[in-house]
Amino acid sequence: MVVQADILVCRTEHELNDEIKEKLARFCNVNVDCVIESVDVNTIYDVPNHMYRECLDKVALKKLKLDYNEPDLDSWNNFLDKYKNPKDTIKIALIGKYVELQDSYKSILESFIHAGAVNEVDVDVIPLHSEFINSENVHDKLQSFNGILVAPGFGERGVEGKSKQLNMLD
């Protein structure tokens, strides 16, 4: 059994010229209009507009035999404009047990990006390991921040330890 692609989305650093698209279509057995370039962009939030310009929506709907309706991208482009042109910057301390692991608090970081964009603010999240904050240094470590988020945690050094750190701020 062979799986045959209907659409080929090609990640690339450079635009694909017609000759390359035709060659890809020929060797992958797809229509040339089904070869979509996904050129590197500055931010992941640019991808929907780029895919729209490449007509990925039209090609996919045609393959699925579904009607095409012109999308309304106004709210997306409004978000994108606010994201790219913040009017201010704020610093948030993210206190957690696993801050050295890049993806530990990924959803929290993404929510700050989205909330910041909606409010036309660039949110600079600075991770701080919860074990290195104590009653002697809490004010020095946290005084320069506009806000503090204590990441969820469990166990002896989790929620209990973090709540003690927050009490130190009084």
pLDDT in tens, 38-54: 999 999 999 999 999 99
pLDDT-wise least confident of 45-49, 66-70, 103-107, 163-167: 163-167
Asked if pLDDT for residue 163 goes beyond 60, the answer is: yes
User: Cα 66–68–69 angle (5° rounding)?
Assistant: 135
The band of 33, judged by pLDDT with boundaries at 50, 70 and 90, is very high
Asked if pLDDT for residue 159 goes beyond 70, the answer is: no
- Altogether, the residues listed in the chain come to a count of 170
Name the strand (E) or helix (H) holding 56.
helix 56-63
Fold of 86-167: Rossmann fold (3.40.50)
The pLDDT of residue 135 is 81
From residue 145, how far is each of 124, 141, 161 by CA, in Å? 10, 9, 20
Q: Which residues does residue 122 pair with via DSSP β-bridges, in sequence order?
A: 89
The pLDDT of residue 164 is 58
- Kindly report, as residue ranges, where domains of CATH 3.40.50 are found in the chain: 86-167
Name the strand (E) or helix (H) holding 92.
strand 88-96
Output the pTM of the full model.
Answer: 0.78
